[in-house]
Each structure stands twice: as C-alpha cells, then as structure tokens.
C-alpha cells in the first residue's frame, strides 16, 4: 500500500506504522469504511479503525441501545457486526480502496474467537494491523471480562502474537479497573506494539417515570466530552509509568471534539488519537480538527506535531 503524505508537519508514527496525521476513527463509530464518505473523505485521516469483527455475525443487544446524557452518550450496542466471512467478502474490497493505514478491531467470546479472526485478517496484505478489543462493557462474554484481568490480557495477547508473529497489534484497554497500568504492562509484556485507551466507562441511565433502566441492557458504555478529563489522566498515567519506559506508542481517545482536545491528549503522552462520539453529532468534524491542528502549529511555530507527544510541563 502506498500512502501519499501531503503535509509532513502533521505526520506521526506508531512504531513502524507511519500516519499522515494523528487522527484515526474510533472503532464502532464509523462502521466498516464508506458509511461516512458522503460527509468527509476518510483518506484525509491518519488511519481508519473498523468496528469490531467476531467469527460469527452478531445482532447485538436489543433496543433501546443508546441514550444521550449531559455531555455524553451511553451505548450498549453489543458488538453488532456482519461476522468474519461477510466482512472478508464484502467489506475488505472497500477497505482496499483506502490510501491510509486500516486497522481491524477484533473481538470475541473466547480466546479461540479472537484467534480465528486475528489469524485470518492478518493474512490480508492491505490491513496495517489489528486492534484487540479487551474492553467492551456491553457483552456478557468476552470484551471487558478479558480486559479487567491482567492474566487474561497477557494470555490472550500472547496467543495472538504466537499465531500472528509479524502482525502489528494494538490492545484497546478498559478504564474500568483499579489500576490501568497493570493490564497495560501485561499487554506490552505479551507482545503488543501499541496501546489504545480508553474505552468507555460503565454507566447507567434510569427512566424516572417508568422506573426502569433506559437501556435494555441495563448498563452501557459512557463516551463523549464527559469522560475526557479522566481519559487524559489515564493516558498520562500509562505514558509515564508504562509506555514511555517501554517505548510503546499510545492512541488516546475519550471525548475528543476539537483540535484542542487532540493537543491535550498528545501532551499527555498520546502519539495519535481516535475520534468517535463527536462524529455522530458532526460527521465532518475531522476536517475542522485537522485545520485546527495546523493553526495551533502555526501559532506556536512548530515544525512537526510529533513534538507534542509527552511534552507536558511538570
């Protein structure tokens, strides 16, 4: 895959993966690829991360599956997806048209589920890497049940690494733990090339008139601006205690809606960021964010945005 970099000042790297700019899509918010092309050319981004793929098709949780909250969104989609076979047959040909790095988010109920998807997807030349989802809070099996147990994180990533020795592996971490640095270390020790954090915080909304949970799943994952200060803190904590000493890049996410948010995450230690919930409000926001980053760099006479990563003054 040949990627044309049109603005070197915005280019960043995730280890051996080169991105034209630090903006990626957040898994689960932008479908499989071209759902948002009417609003914005996704090839202008640094990279694209697909929604989660499981071995078999999943309908996800029953409705109601989303609920707006002050400065946020609670969702309990439940990893709805077309399944591995249909993804390879129908979606990969679309993804192969992309001129930016594409990462496939991988999920499952069991370790074997992850291995089935990871091994098959890793053999597709156009795919730049895998994002291993050990943090979805909206399924009864898999997802967060792996991410909250450091041993499970280590064992899962180890097995995927053995099956896919040359594949670029991003591990997506949950914030719903006592100390996020513990699973972060486990993922790195097992062979992760990059960490993505944070996924959603478990939340709940109640219909005070019906006196029952708004979501059919009872609980869901809270995203949006409400979680940004917590996400920035956790990115900085993992960067200082785990990622920087191990020379492992971080992808920060959680409530990003403008260029200032991107800069904040990068100063905290992120090499790149993923944007998700805000795209449901304004699908074209990514172009505005890129323009804002260029303006910030001009304001502070910066030669490359990479200089922001970890540049927080203590």
Active-site residue set: 136
SS3 4: coil
Integer Cα distance of 4 and 301 in angstroms: 24
CA-wise closest residue to 188 among 119, 245, 259: 245
Walk across the sheet containing 48-49 and list its strands: 23-25, 272-275, 250-252, 194-197, 169-172, 127-133, 102-106, 48-49
Integer Cα distance of 184 and 198 in angstroms: 11
Q: CB neighbours (10 Å) of residue 306?
A: 17
Question: Cα 49 to chain center, whole Å?
Answer: 7
Integer Cα distance of 177 and 196 in angstroms: 15
Question: Cα 17 to chain center, whole Å?
Answer: 15
């Amino acid at each position: 895959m040949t990627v044309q970099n049109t603005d070197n000042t915005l280019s960043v790297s995730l280890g051996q993966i080169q991105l034209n700019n630090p903006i990626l899509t957040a898994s689960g918010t932008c479908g499989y690829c071209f759902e948002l092309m009417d609003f914005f050319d996704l090839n202008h981004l640094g990279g694209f991360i697909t929604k989660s793929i499981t071995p078999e098709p999943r309908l996800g949780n029953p409705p109601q599956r989303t609920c707006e909250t002050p400065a946020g969104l609670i969702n309990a989609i439940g990893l709805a997806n077309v399944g591995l076979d249909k993804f390879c047959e129908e979606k990969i040909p679309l993804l192969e048209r992309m001129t930016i790095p594409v990462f496939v988010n991988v999920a499952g109920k069991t370790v074997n589920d992850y291995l089935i998807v990871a091994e098959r997807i890793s053999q597709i030349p156009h795919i730049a890497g895998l994002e291993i989802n050990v943090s979805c809070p909206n399924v009864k099996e898999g997802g967060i049940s792996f991410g909250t147990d450091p041993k499970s994180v280590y064992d899962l990533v180890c097995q995927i690494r053995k099956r896919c020795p040359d594949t670029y592996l991003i591990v997506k971490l949950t914030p719903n733990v006592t100390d996020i640095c513990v699973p972060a270390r486990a993922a790195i020790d097992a062979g992760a090339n990059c960490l993505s954090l944070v996924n959603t915080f478990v939340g709940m909304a109640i219909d005070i008139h019906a006196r029952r949970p708004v979501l059919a799943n009872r609980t869901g994952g809270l995203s949006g601006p409400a979680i940004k200060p917590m996400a920035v803190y956790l990115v900085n904590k993992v960067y200082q205690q785990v990622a920087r000493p191990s020379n492992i890049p971080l992808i920060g996410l959680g409530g990003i809606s403008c260029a200032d948010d991107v800069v904040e995450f990068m100063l905290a230690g992120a090499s790149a960021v993923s944007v998700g919930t805000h795209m449901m409000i304004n699908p074209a926001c990514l172009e505005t964010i890129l323009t804002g980053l260029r303006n910030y760099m001009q304001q502070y006479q910066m030669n490359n945005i990479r200089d922001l990563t970890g540049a927080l003054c203590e």
